[in-house]
């Protein structure tokens, strides 16, 4: 019997990427399954890159439509099971109104008691498990789909669809130097390495004859100009120059990417590009929960509890990681 399973993850890029192994594992364990992935339009490229996703359903379109129109769209996919990986009241309510027979969600959200008919008791915030493993808590008992070993989780990304990098961007890449992307900002989603460390890393990379790119969204240009503007002969500023699909293709062509716990780090890891992540040891922001997953991932984190930084905007623990430590990881690239 054929099944159509909807997976709902309507938050950010990194969270979505860490949910993709769930799609691959479902396809591996269940026969005759189609997967509909409900996500935000801006995350569409990372979702559609996964060969295990059959249909992308745009949450931004659905929530702007009338309830009747949104229900008609959902019903057109003939979905029999919905998995609410990310909790959102409006999504849960709409899925129930669409009469999806099995709706799986966390028992830790009150509205799921109204809109989900299968509620799983587990906590993310206080768990010792990685985010990608936690997603499988929703399918272990309901669909008999359990998580693979964490060391093999990245094998289920299956980013096997081809993305063509526009020539205007490909021409930026060096053919005789290592191409390194630095992604300093995170839109406030993560603890960030301070500007002095980034400046130190740029100087070390430039002196060591690497080609350096600074990436970010258009709004990051102001930060780059204010903090790194006097060094602009050392790097190429990519902030706001590419859409996400082109950026993904560009990352795939580079040798390494350095970032804190943010989407581009997970993009690099999913491609098998050397991803160097700079993390605080503070739970739940620590790498035990949010580390990028891949064969070429290096995680740098201070060996302490970060307790004194918990309520501070500036994290002394993440800033104790030096540019020299990052350079040591970059020098390991073949």
Q: What is the pLDDT of residues 34-66, one digit of tens each?
A: 999 999 999 999 999 999 999 999 999 999 999
Last residue of a domain, one of 156, 191, 213: 156
Orientation of helix 67-75 relative to helix 89-97, angle to 10°? 70
Tell me the CA distances in angstroms from 98 to 37, 72, 82, 113, one per residue in order.
16, 8, 11, 17
Residue 191 has a pLDDT of 86
Residue 85 belongs to a domain with what CATH number? 3.40.50.2000
Residue 288 counted as domain residue: yes
Residue 1 has a pLDDT of 60
The reply to whether 64 and 140 lie within a common domain is yes
Residue 291 counted as domain residue: yes
| Residue 163 neighbours by CB distance under 10 Å | 17
Residue 61 has a pLDDT of 96
Residue 87 has a pLDDT of 94
Last residue of a domain, one of 135, 156, 177: 156
The reply to whether 22 and 144 lie within a common domain is yes
The reply to whether 201 and 276 lie within a common domain is yes
The reply to whether 232 and 326 lie within a common domain is yes
In 3-state terms the chain splits into helix, strand, coil percentages (rounded to 5) of 40, 15, 45
Q: Token pair for residue 314?
A: 């500036």
The reply to whether 182 and 259 lie within a common domain is yes
The reply to whether 145 and 260 lie within a common domain is no
Total number of domains in the chain: 2
Residues 6+ apart with CB under 8 A from 322: 197, 200
The reply to whether 172 and 302 lie within a common domain is yes
The reply to whether 151 and 7 lie within a common domain is yes
Stretches in the chain below the pLDDT threshold 50:
none
Q: Say how far residue 99 (Cα) sits from the centre of its chain.
A: 30
Residue 313 has a pLDDT of 67
Residue 329 has a pLDDT of 95
The reply to whether 141 and 175 lie within a common domain is no
Residue 162 counted as domain residue: no
The reply to whether 280 and 303 lie within a common domain is yes
pTM higher than the cut 0.85: yes
Residue 29 counted as domain residue: yes
Residue numbers of the domain that contains 243: 167-330
């Amino acid at each position: 019997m054929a099944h159509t399973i909807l997976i709902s993850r309507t938050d950010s890029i990194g969270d979505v990427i860490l949910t993709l192994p769930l799609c691959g594992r479902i396809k591996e364990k269940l026969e005759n399954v189609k997967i509909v992935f409900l996500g935000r339009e801006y995350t569409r490229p990372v979702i559609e890159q996964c060969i295990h996703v059959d249909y992308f359903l745009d949450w931004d379109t659905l929530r702007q439509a009338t309830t009747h129109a949104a229900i008609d769209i959902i019903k057109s996919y003939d979905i029999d099971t919905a998995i609410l990986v990310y909790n959102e009241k409006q999504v849960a309510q709409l899925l129930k109104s669409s009469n999806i027979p099995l709706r799986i969600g966390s028992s830790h959200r009150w509205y799921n008691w109204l809109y989900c008919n299968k509620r799983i008791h587990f906590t993310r915030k206080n768990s010792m498990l990685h985010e990608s493993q936690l997603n499988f808590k929703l399918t272990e008992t309901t669909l008999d789909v359990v998580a693979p070993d964490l060391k093999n989780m990245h094998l289920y990304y299956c980013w096997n669809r081809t993305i063509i990098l526009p020539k205007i961007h490909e021409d930026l890449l060096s053919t005789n130097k290592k191409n390194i992307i630095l992604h300093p900002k995170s839109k406030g989603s993560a603890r960030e390495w301070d500007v002095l460390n980034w400046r130190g890393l740029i100087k070390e990379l430039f002196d060591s004859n690497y080609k350096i790119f600074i990436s970010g969204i258009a709004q990051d240009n102001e930060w780059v100009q204010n903090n790194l503007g006097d060094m602009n002969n050392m790097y190429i500023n990519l902030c706001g120059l590419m859409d996400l699909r082109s950026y993904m293709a560009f990352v795939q062509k580079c040798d390494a990417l350095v970032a804190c716990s943010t989407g581009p780090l997970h993009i690099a890891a999913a491609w098998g590009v050397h991803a160097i992540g700079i993390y605080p040891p503070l739970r739940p922001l620590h790498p035990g929960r949010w580390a990028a997953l891949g064969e070429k991932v290096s995680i740098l984190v201070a060996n302490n509890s970060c307790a004194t930084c918990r309520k501070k905007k500036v994290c002394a623990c993440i800033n104790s990681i030096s540019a020299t430590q990052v350079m040591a990881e970059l020098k390991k690239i073949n």
